[in-house]
Each structure stands twice: as structure tokens, then as C-alpha cells.
Copies of this chain bind each other. A is one copy, B any other.
């Protein structure tokens, strides 16, 4: 029996989450078991508020153009459904909306929280006797989902970080004789250092920048760090540091939150890069510059990794295939081939084994001194940034095609 599908984007967006969405919608159109594909306006909130975007109103070329568009085209959200007991009202509402719109397929595109939500929806549908095929689709620049070899979105952020580190390093190298000696780049990663680790791909030879990589997995040791900066500057003339936003001190507090106050006595907002920069100015008297790439790194579709893009599209298409094959409570994950030449395939994995878990950098990926990554990490990371897939440019900037984003008529009462 023909059922409609619901797709939602969840959590922090990436350069290629829309590529997943586009591939999913285009694949779903091929299956006669699937009727309309609705996208949640602002993620799962779209389901709760019955704000369902009818993707059948979009042209094929608009859907195809999604692969070039960063951000979340249908809107994402940070809204975590808790366990079945404390969020029972929300889960019931979801099922009500699914019933009202004959939705039999639920695709949730996000990280570990979203895998958890999809898992719970798959359970409650049994409990409430409303059959639905729940598929969580991986997405996160943090690369911290378990089981999958990597996460769509990460490879593109990694390529941006490696490229930016390389380019800025060439800049500071040329200025070092009379000016800036240390450059600090802050990248994302609250708990896992995958993005900071990716900066290692900027190197061609040993000794190339970045010279120091500070990971959230390793407690910041100020003394050791400053000694290393000093030594690198002495040897090279300049030093490039890449630091994870989640770097912590020995009191287990984020450095970016630590003791800085502004003139009004307010705690200074984030920015571990300026913190490190201040340290270097104060303790080493070395001129430095710092950058914080923030959203730029996760939305840099203009320099997306082709490998990442292809994987993002593959998980979207596979999710549909799994759903129509009757799978429930699974995630299409990326499995790396065992051959020396990089290869990958998509396989289903149970959400119960993914939900809420977090994959940090393994010890074998972290250098002995705690301020770099190992060749093993580089071997893992390198394939993920391969290939380019530049967008079209129009008037000098990437071309973004507009979507209609037409919502279907509401059938239920307002939900507050």
C-alpha cells in the first residue's frame, strides 16, 4: 500500500546535508510504494507543528541543485526528544501527524541524538500500533557517530580546514621575518578532535604546518604547549597551531569559558583561539594572529570533498531503499573496504547500537606528545577529502537555486 514519507534535517547543518536530501527525494520518486515526500519545516518541529513541505512541488532541477546548497534547505533544529516517558506527548503527536498524512516512512537526517529519536519513534510506532519504517541518516561535521567509518559532512569540513590551514600557513610563513610568528586557527569539535586532526592533511612533508594540533581528547598542558611553540618558532621561524574549540584545562573546563571577563564583569564568550593568542603574547611575547572559522567550516560547500558529497548522496538513496525493503530502526552507514586503495560501501546498522554514543579520536590516532596526530590518523583521514565538486558560480558567488517550500494543508488542530 502506498504511503507517504517524512524527511527531516536535525542539529547542526553541513555543506552536504542537502545533497543527502536531494538524493533521498529523487530516489523516493522512483519507488511506487512511496507517495509524496514531505520535508519537515525546521526539522522535527515541522512534524510536531504539522508544517510539512511538499517536495513534489519542486522541479527536478531544483531538487538536483540541492547538492550544491550548504545549510539546511528545509530548516533544521536543535530539539531533542527525550525518553518515551518524559516526551510521550511529543511522540504521540508525531504519530498523530504521521497518521493524518498517511506517512509510513520516517527519515531523520542527523547525529547521535537524531539516531536516538528515530530509534524511539521506531519503538513507539509498535507500541501505538502504527507501523512506520524509521531510518536515521548520518550527518555531522563532528564525525563522531559510531559504527560508520565516517560521517557525511565531515569530509567537506575536513577539506576546508586542511586547505585553509595550508593557505594561512603560506601567509604567515612569508610574514614571519618581521611580523607574525604564530598563527592560531580554531576549529569545531566540542568533544571529539576529528576536525582539528584534519588540519594534518595540509602537510606535504614532515615538519610542515600545522606544527601543533590541540585536541579535546587531551587536557591542555600550558607549559608543554608554550615550550613547543617556542621550539617550533626557533627552528622554523614561525608556528601554526590548530586548536579544537573543545580544548579543556586540568579542571575539566573549556578553555574558551575560562576566567576571562569583560569590563562589565561578564564572562567572555567562547573563542579558544584568542585565549591561546593571549597566552602566546603574554608568556612568549611573540606576535600572533588568530582565526575562528565557526560556521564557515561547516557550510563551505564551495570546497566540498567529492568523496564526502558522493557518500552524502549514497546514504540518502540507500535510506529509501532500506525503508521500502521494510527495514526499521536502522541507519545506512559507510563501510570502508579492506583493500589498500580506498573504497567504501553502504550497509544498514541497527540504531540501538548507534544512538547517543560518541566516537572520539582513538588513542592510536594521537601522537605521543599529545599535540599532534599519528600517521595512522592521516591514513584514515586522507581519502575523505579527495576530489572536488565546485558549484556553479553566478555573479561571482556560488549559485543558489530557490525552492518553493510549499506546505501542505494542515489537518490537525494547532499543537502547542
B residues within 8 A CB of A166?
Answer: 397-398, 400
* Max chain B Cβ within 10 angstroms of own Cβ: one of A282, A294, A301, A390: A294
Binds B, one of A91-99, A123-131, A143-151, A175-183: A175-183
Is A362 at the interface (CB under 8 A from chain B)?
Answer: no
Interchain CB contact (< 8 A) of A263 among B69, B202, B260: B260
Binds B, one of A156-164, A227-235, A333-341: A156-164
Report how many copies the assembly holds. Answer: 2
* Given A262-B268, A266-B282, A299 and B76 contact (CB-CB distance below 8 Å): no
B residues within 8 A CB of A289?
Answer: 294-295
Interchain CB contact (< 8 A) of A382 among B172, B201, B396: B396
B residues within 8 A CB of A204?
Answer: 400
Is A284 at the interface (CB under 8 A from chain B)?
Answer: no
* Residues B167 and A76 in contact, CB atoms below 8 Å apart: no
* Residues B261 and A261 in contact, CB atoms below 8 Å apart: yes
Distance to closest chain B CB from A226 (angstroms): 15
B residues within 8 A CB of A79?
Answer: 178
* Residues B396 and A173 in contact, CB atoms below 8 Å apart: no
* Given A175-B13, A271-B271, A294-B290, A299 and B266 contact (CB-CB distance below 8 Å): no
B residues within 8 A CB of A177?
Answer: 42-43, 45, 75, 77
Binds B, one of A110-118, A273-281, A318-326: A273-281
Is A12 at the interface (CB under 8 A from chain B)?
Answer: yes
B residues within 8 A CB of A408?
Answer: none
Interface size on A, residues (CB 8 A): 85
Is A73 at the interface (CB under 8 A from chain B)?
Answer: yes
- Closest B residue to A175 by beta carbon equals B76
* Residues B303 and A302 in contact, CB atoms below 8 Å apart: yes
B residues within 8 A CB of A295?
Answer: 167-168, 171-172, 183, 289, 291
Within 8 A of B (CB), among A291-339: 291-296, 298-303, 305
- Closest B residue to A183 by beta carbon equals B295
* Max chain B Cβ within 10 angstroms of own Cβ: one of A75, A259, A281, A305: A75
* Given A170-B70, A179-B77, A396 and B390 contact (CB-CB distance below 8 Å): no
* Given A162-B397, A201-B396, A266 and B278 contact (CB-CB distance below 8 Å): yes
Within 8 A of B (CB), among A196-229: 201-202, 204
19 A–B contacts, CB within 8 A, in A order:
A9-B174, A13-B175, A45-B177, A71-B167, A71-B172, A75-B177, A78-B179, A167-B296, A171-B295, A259-B262, A260-B260, A261-B262, A266-B282, A268-B268, A269-B281, A270-B274, A289-B295, A291-B296, A390-B390
